[in-house]
């Protein structure tokens, strides 16, 4: 791709990463309810889930899913149900008394959750298939490699935005940790919000051109 196209892509990808979306809200909710360790683990998981969409998009798998109403619905509802289940679990865990000295040790679980939440989101697949091809050079040696490279850059920028959100949410949590009743309400709110993301995903429609 030309240098001009690359810098245009980089500027657009940076702006998109800076705009709060479902991924940022999910990572923030996990950090507020479970702490910095879970926040960073969730961020790493969503990054890997994003890369799954990049590879799938470059191979044409995402296009097949978006073109099939049945496959799109299956992936969509699987992701929605998983988010709702995570939200319910978070809400029910609000009765535990958190403390700064006892950060959750479930970082592997948070990582796994992040991967599944992002990988089972067909909206991410639709985004990559609509956004990245605009900057590909058809005359280039390998459009597939171009897609993967640009997709990896986009995922990296999104991950950096998530890291900033984790740090901010963690600082907020540290200020509230000595107020158990407020923390309980905050955790419950995080659970409701995560479940709400699932319901929002369930209402997503397949792209008209799919």
User: What DSSP string runs through the chain?
Assistant: --HHHHHHHHHHHHHHHHS--HHHHHHHHHHHHH-HHHHHHHHHHHHHHHHHHHHHHHHTHHHHHHH-HHHHHHHHHHHHHHHHHHHHHHHHGGGS---TT-----HHHHHHHHHHHHHT-HHHHHHHHHHGGGG--TTSS-HHHHHHHHHHHHHHHHHHHHHHHHHHHHHHHHHHTT-HHHHHHHHHHHHHHHHHHHHHHHTPPPPTT-
Confidence of residue 208 (pLDDT cuts 50, 70, 90): low
Q: What is the pLDDT of residue 198?
A: 83
Spatial separation of the C-alpha atoms in residues 202 and 169, rounded to whole Å: 27
pLDDT at 88 over 60: yes
pLDDT the model gives residue 44: 96
Average pLDDT of the segment spanning 57-71: 85
Q: What pLDDT digit, counting tens, does each position of 34-50 carry? A: 889 999 999 999 999 99
111 pLDDT band, cuts 50/70/90, is: very high
The Cα–Cα gap between 70 and 67 comes to 9
Sign of CA dihedral 127, 170, 187, 41: positive
- Pair 139, 67: CB distance under 8 Å: no
> What was the pLDDT predicted at 205?
78
In the prediction, which pLDDT does 100 show? 44
**Average pLDDT rounded to a whole number, residues 149-173:** 93
What's the chain's average pLDDT?
84
**What pLDDT is attached to residue 47?**
96
pLDDT at residue 153 is higher than 80: yes
pLDDT given at position 23: 83
Global pTM value: 0.80
Place of tokens 């935005």: 161
pLDDT beyond 90 at 21: no
Q: How confident is the model at residue 96 (pLDDT cuts 50, 70, 90)?
A: low
Q: Distance (Å, rounded) from C-alpha 121 to C-alpha 49?
A: 9
Of 11-25, 53-67, 173-187, least confident by mean pLDDT is 173-187
pLDDT band at 4 (very low <50, low <70, confident <90, very high): confident
């Amino acid at each position: 791709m030309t240098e001009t196209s690359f810098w245009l892509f980089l500027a657009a990808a940076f702006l998109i990463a800076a705009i709060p979306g479902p991924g940022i809200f999910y990572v923030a909710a996990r950090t507020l309810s479970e702490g910095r360790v879970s926040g960073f683990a969730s961020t790493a998981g969503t990054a890997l889930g994003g890369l799954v969409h990049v590879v799938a998009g470059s191979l044409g798998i995402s296009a097949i899913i978006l073109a099939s109403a049945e496959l799109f619905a299956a992936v969509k509802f699987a992701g929605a149900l998983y988010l709702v289940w995570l939200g319910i679990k978070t809400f029910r865990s609000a009765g535990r008394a958190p403390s700064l000295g006892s950060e959750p040790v479930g970082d592997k679980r948070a990582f796994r959750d992040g991967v599944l939440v992002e990988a089972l989101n067909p909206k991410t697949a639709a985004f990559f298939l609509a956004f990245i091809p605009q900057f590909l050079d058809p005359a280039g040696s390998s459009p597939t490699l171009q897609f993967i490279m640009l997709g990896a850059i986009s995922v990296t920028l999104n991950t950096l935005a998530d890291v900033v959100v984790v740090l901010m949410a963690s600082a907020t949590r540290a200020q509230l940790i000595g107020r158990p009743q407020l923390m309980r309400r905050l955790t419950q709110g995080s659970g409701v919000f995560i479940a709400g993301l699932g319901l929002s995903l369930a209402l997503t429609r397949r792209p008209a051109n799919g």
